[in-house]
């Protein structure tokens, strides 16, 4: 489905060169939900932009269903952290959600059906005539998610989408993402700063080193598929995985493509569960 192969990105400015991504390789299967964590500034957003075809890598490639990504691919949607900036203040919720569909030229009836369904699944059916500035942060982020859902993507890339909402709303939105992932059969790559979120949400957690960035670990999250905030988070296994990811993030702050040449192979690493 999604293949990141030796991806490299160096930003070259007039006075400064930043090697953000040294050499990243990993694979995501169709219908997987994978989380990505790493130290601040390690290049998570850079990676996502390259994967979404919004930024050209310096080397390597991203393949989607066997085809190289060289611009925003159809079938891929991105949800960014700054929902305030991705929603248009002068458009109501319905029009904000419908906006990307205009390109698909589906016809009014189908467009309405998709928008109604997307607003329904994110729990905003009653708010379709409201404007973004009349909504709470959590509701605005739901609008951004509804917009992605209405687009019917095969792949959903999310860049720290819940970083700016309160803890309670965040827990609700995490469960919403898991529900959408299961119901819609979409492939999700979810970038987060939050260690608990990285363990709770996904089937795998990819841990990145500090910049120049390599994959430090590709960890299978072997928690039961049925998860809920109370029981899953209080389970012994959740605690073990959380401690492990925490330790790895601490290690990642000192580890980079400069300090170690080892990059786990995409195929082997994805199945390897380290002994904790
Ligand atoms: N347009 C740019 N020009 C030059 N350098 C950049 C640019 N964008 C990012 N960088 C640099 O690339 C590195 C990775 O940045 P990036 O934003 O991808 O990291 P991040 O892991 O998403 O950060 P954070 O955890 O703070 O959100 C940083 O050193 C950053 O300063």
189: exposed, middle or buried (Cβ count in 10 Å: 0-12, 13-18, 19+): buried
Question: In testing the pocket of ligand 1, which one of 12, 39, 41 has its CB within 8 Å of the most ligand atoms?
Answer: 41
Write down the pLDDT at residue 260: 57
pLDDT per residue as tens digits for the range 190-214 = 999 899 999 999 999 999 988 788 8
Residue 193 Cα: closest atom of ligand 1: 25
Write down the pLDDT at residue 270: 39
Write down the pLDDT at residue 119: 92
> The pTM is what?
0.88
DSSP states along 164-212: TS-HHHHHHHHHHHHHHHHHHT-EEEEE-S-HHHHHHH-SEEEEE-SSS
22 CB within 6 A, ligand 1: no
55 CB within 6 A, ligand 1: no
- What's the rounded Cα separation, in Å, for the pair 131 and 234? 38
DSSP states along 126-167: GGTTS-GGGS-HHHHHHHHHHHHHHT--SEEEEESTTTTS-H
pLDDT per residue as tens digits for the range 124-175 = 889 889 999 999 888 898 899 889 888 889 999 999 988 878 888 889 889 9
Q: Is the ipTM of this complex over 0.95?
A: yes
Residue nearest to atom 29 of ligand 1 (CA): 41
How many C-beta atoms surround the C-beta of residue 166 within 10 A? Answer: 11
43 CB within 6 A, ligand 1: yes
Write down the pLDDT at residue 232: 95
209 CB within 6 A, ligand 1: no
Q: How long is the chain?
A: 276
């Amino acid at each position: 489905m999604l293949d990141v192969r030796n991806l490299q990105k160096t930003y070259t400015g007039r006075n400064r060169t930043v090697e953000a991504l040294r050499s990243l390789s990993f694979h995501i299967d169709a219908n997987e939900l994978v989380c990505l964590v790493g130290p601040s500034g390690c290049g998570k957003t850079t990676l996502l932009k390259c994967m979404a075809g919004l930024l050209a890598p310096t080397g390597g490639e991203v393949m989607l269903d066997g085809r190289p990504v060289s611009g925003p691919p159809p079938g891929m949607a991105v949800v960014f952290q700054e929902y305030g900036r991705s929603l248009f203040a002068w458009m109501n919720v319905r029009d904000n959600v419908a906006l990307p569909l205009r390109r698909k030229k589906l016809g009014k009836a189908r467009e309405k059906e998709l928008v109604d369904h997307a607003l329904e699944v994110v729990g905003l059916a009653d708010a379709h005539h409201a404007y973004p500035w009349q909504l709470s942060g959590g509701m605005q982020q739901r609008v951004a998610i509804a917009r992605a859902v209405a687009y019917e993507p095969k792949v959903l890339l999310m860049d720290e989408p819940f970083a700016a909402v309160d803890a309670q709303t965040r827990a609700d939105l995490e469960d919403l993402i898991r529900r959408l992932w299961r119901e819609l059969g979409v492939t999700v790559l979810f970038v987060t700063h939050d260690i608990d979120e990285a363990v709770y949400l996904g089937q795998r957690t990819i841990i990145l080193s500090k910049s120049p960035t390599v994959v430090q670990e590709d960890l299978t999250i072997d928690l039961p598929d049925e998860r809920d905030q109370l029981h899953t988070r209080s389970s012994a296994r959740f605690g073990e995985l959380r401690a492990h990811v925490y330790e790895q993030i601490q290690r990642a702050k000192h580890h980079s493509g400069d300090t170690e040449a080892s990059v786990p192979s995409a195929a082997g690493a994805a199945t390897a569960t380290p002994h904790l």
